[in-house]
Amino acid sequence: MHMHPNHRIFAVTLLTLLIGWTCVAQAWAQGVWNRQNSQTTTDLTSVFFVDANTGWIAGESGTILHTTNGGALWQTQNVPTTVDLESISFANANQGWAVGDNGVILHTDNGGSTWSLQTSGLTTDLKSVFFIDATTGWAAGSGGKLLKTTSSGNLWAPPTSRVFFIDFNTIFFTDASIGHLLGGLTNILDTLDGGSIWTVGRPLPPVISEGPLNSIFFLDTTTGWSVGDNSIVKTTTGGVFWQRQEFTPFTFLNSVFAVDTNNVWTVGSGATILRTSDGGASWNTEESGIPLGTELNSVFFVDSDDGWAVGEEGEIAHYSTGPGSTVLAANFMNGNSALFNSRVYLFNSSSTDGEITVHVFTLPTGDDPALSTTTPLSLGTLRARSALNIKLVEDILVPLHVSLPYTTDNGNLALEFTIQAPDVQGAAQVFSSSLAFGTYSLPKIPTTFSSGPTVLVANFMNGNDTAFDSDIYLLNPSQSAGIVTVRVFTLPLKNGLAQELTTTPLALGTLTARSALNIKVAEDILTPLLIPLPYTTDGGNLTLEFTIQAAGVRGAAQVFSSDFAYGTYPLQEIPATASGAPTVLVSNFMNGNDGAFNSRIYLFNPSQSAGNVAVRVFTLPLKDAGIAQELTTTPLDLGTLS
């Protein structure tokens, strides 16, 4: 069958869309893990949710975090202790308890707005707390200590006269009578009367459990799992018999949670998250984007669609089968005030409303540390299929009580916007106190980070010197600091050959975790390389390749010339691996370029392979002025990019 070219294009496009939607649907059904911003680097030990929106996390140094929007925003709650907290449990949205070192027990009856100490009568560490309802709960810990309350914690006392000689690390009850204690190496104790009498089983043999067990979870009175060092074990007899389940890679597992007889998650060392969807017959690794060296300490699910894992250095990962969120980076400069009020424009093409928050960073030069907002500023909701105009001064700087005009670090700021909706697009209209710098699209920050470095490329023109000093703005959204280096290349005209001006990459210092950095082209790069200023070779044009030993870094360039400012644009990321396919780029030009006003295209080849460059040129007619015509009958050969 002969197909008209336009029809063929339509058919291919439709097929592409269908394939794309199929992939999205599959990814949605399976769910993904995304990192959340905890606003802390404190180690987190225990997580608990009462519904998909409302949850708490306990951690070291008396840390308790709280969210009411599924983790889009985590806020620290005030507690009357600084000891390490090991476990947290809630009976409902108001009544909750947390336990920790030195016998500390905390209680809240208002969702954590206030916490108070309860009397445990112990000085040993408590490792686990579990409440079956608002009045009845248990706590267990080191030295075989076991407590029970039937009065919401007003009175805690041992439920049995029996003395235990092992350390307990987890307690779990399926109802007011049937419970399980995990302690020692592989000792699992069971009770049928609320804790008065405990049956002590023999330690599980190495053929079943290779190492100590750290966590236990029961789905009902018969089916449960326990995990530990290189071990996952399961019972379908209420703990009478246990069977080993095989998994790879072997690792230390710290916490387990089951939502039904098929779907179970466990987390542990090396940022490991394992999931089974067949009751444990097979276990598969799930990626969270959390740095691989991180110890994950606790996992909790409200249902098969929403779960959280928490661990060292404030790391939080959220599992969702929903559409996910978007994180965008923006950079602003030069003392914004009410008169020169830069904007951010957001467009939500999805069918999901999304709450917007922004994290604001200073953009210092040199070795000064970047400062940031302690908690993200809420900017309201971006409705589905809608757009929003956010004013930098009125909507962000004024609510943060920033003095105007903002002049610290030359008025430079980096902003990280988080929108709880997928695939939001954004742009920034950037003003300074003297002129507008133009509009540029906001680069997206990945929700999951690879382990490799970030490589970004920038282009500059027209003789930067100390008076006209272009800037590079870098924002590191990850929890890992990274050394920054740069390689500098000349940008010759078409028939020239680019030269690298750096014999070895120039070190520019460290971009710390969750921070930003302002790099001046003349002062920080050209001068240390002993390049005479102003740089005039090839019209003063240069290409810079920045390598940052941290994942997910995003950047922008504020480009000056000796005559006027050229504007701000996001830096392009160079992929870690090349596909082998040719690169196709598109650009648009306007308003009659001639010899005096000669627009440029800058190309940079980071690969080890040279490539022939060809261009096709099309007209750009106005809406009612006709159809675009190709001016090149065949692609125009522009030579080789070495």
Asked if 417 contacts 319 with a C-beta cutoff of 8 angstroms, the reply is no
DSSP conformational letter for 229: B
Distance of alpha carbon 448 from its chain centroid, rounded? Answer: 6
Instruction: Give me the CATH code for the 31-320 domain, please.
Output: 2.130.10.10
Question: What proportion of the chain, given as a percentage, has pLDDT over 70?
Answer: 85
pLDDT score of 229 more than 70: yes
Cis ω for the linkage preceding 422 (within 30 of 0): no
Q: What is the dihedral of CA 304, 110, 83, 59, to 10 degrees?
A: 20
> Greater confidence, 10 or 121?
121
Note the pLDDT of residue 555. Answer: 87
Token output for 476: 């590191």
274 phi and psi angles, rounded to 5 deg: -110, 145
- Tell which residue, 140, 153, 213, 205, has the closest CA to residue 179: 140
Beta bridge partners of 257: 265
- Is 182 in contact with 213 (CB distance < 8 Å)? yes
**Measured between alpha carbons, how far is 366 from 371 in angstroms, rounded to an integer?**
14
Q: What is the pLDDT of residues 238-278, one digit of tens each?
A: 998 999 999 987 889 999 999 999 999 999 999 999 999 99
* 152: Cβ contacts below 8 Å, ≥ 6 apart: 95, 107, 109, 134, 135, 137
> Do the bridges between strand 316-320 and strand 105-108 make them parallel or antiparallel, or are there none, so unpaired?
unpaired
Residues 99, 156: Cα–Cα separation, whole Å? 13
Over the Cα atoms of the chain, what is R_g? Answer: 29
Residue 286: how many CB atoms within 10 A of its CB?
17
Q: What is the pLDDT of residues 365-391, one digit of tens each?
A: 777 767 777 778 889 999 988 999 998
Contacts of 64 (CB under 8 A, 6+ apart): 56, 57, 58, 76, 77, 79, 85, 88, 98, 106, 112, 115
pLDDT-derived band at 16, boundaries 50, 70, 90: very low
Evaluate whether 31-320 and 449-576 have a shared fold: no
Residue type, 191: T
Which tokens is 585 given? 């780029």
- State the average pLDDT for the chain: 83
CATH 2.60.290.11 is right for the domain spanning 323-445: yes
Cβ 348 vs Cβ 494: under 8 Å: no
Contacts with 399 (C-beta within 8 Å, 6 or more apart), sequence order:
377
Q: Which residue has the higher pLDDT, 225 or 427?
A: 225
Print burial letters for 472-501: b (CB count within 10 Å at least 16), e (below 16): bbbbbbbbbebebbbbbbbbeeeeeebeeb
E-strand spans in 152-230? 168-173, 179-183, 187-191, 199-200, 213-218, 224-228
Do residues 281 and 289 lie in contact, with contact meaning Cβ atoms separated by under 8 Å? no
Task: Report the alpha-carbon distance of residue 483 to residue 261 in Å, rounded.
Answer: 47
For the record, the structure tokens of 167 come out as: 């350390």
Question: If you search the block for the tokens 């102003």, which residue do you land on?
Answer: 534
The reported pTM is 0.61
User: Can you tell me the distance from the alpha carbon of 217 to that of 172, in angstroms, rounded to the nearest whole number?
Assistant: 7
DSSP-assigned states of every residue in 204-219: PPTTT-SS-EEEEEES
CA proximity to 254, closest of 128, 71, 73: 128
Q: What is the DSSP letter of 30?
A: H
Both structure tokens of 457: 């490329």
Give dist(CA 218, CA 300) in Å, integer.
13
* Predicted confidence band of residue 451 (pLDDT cuts 50, 70, 90): low
Q: Which residues are CB-neighbours of 331 under 8 A, at least 6 positions away?
A: 363, 412, 413, 414, 415, 428, 430, 473, 475, 556, 558, 568
Angstrom distance (rounded) from CA 41 to CA 325: 22
Distance from chain centroid for Cα 291: 10
337 phi, psi to nearest 5 deg: -135, -175
Percent of the chain beyond pLDDT 90? 38
* Sheet of strand 63-67: strand arrangement: 44-49, 55-59, 63-67, 75-76
pLDDT tens readout for residues 506-555: 999 888 877 888 888 888 888 898 988 888 888 778 888 889 888 788 88
Closest CA to 314 of 35, 504, 592, 100: 35
Which tens digit of pLDDT belongs to each residue from 329-352? 888 766 566 666 788 999 998 888
Domain positions in the chain: 31-320, 323-445, 449-576, 581-642
CA distance 449 to 434: 38
Three-state helix/strand/coil letters over 241-274: CCEECCCCCCCEEEEEEECCCCCEEEEEHHHCEE
- What is residue 71's three-state secondary structure? coil
Lowest mean pLDDT among 17-26, 142-151, 192-201, 236-245: 17-26
d(CA 209, CA 165): 21
Query: Rounded to the nearest 5°, which phi and psi values hold at 97?
Result: -140, 150
Give the fold, CATH level 3, of 449-576: Hypothetical Protein Tm1070; Chain: A (2.60.290)
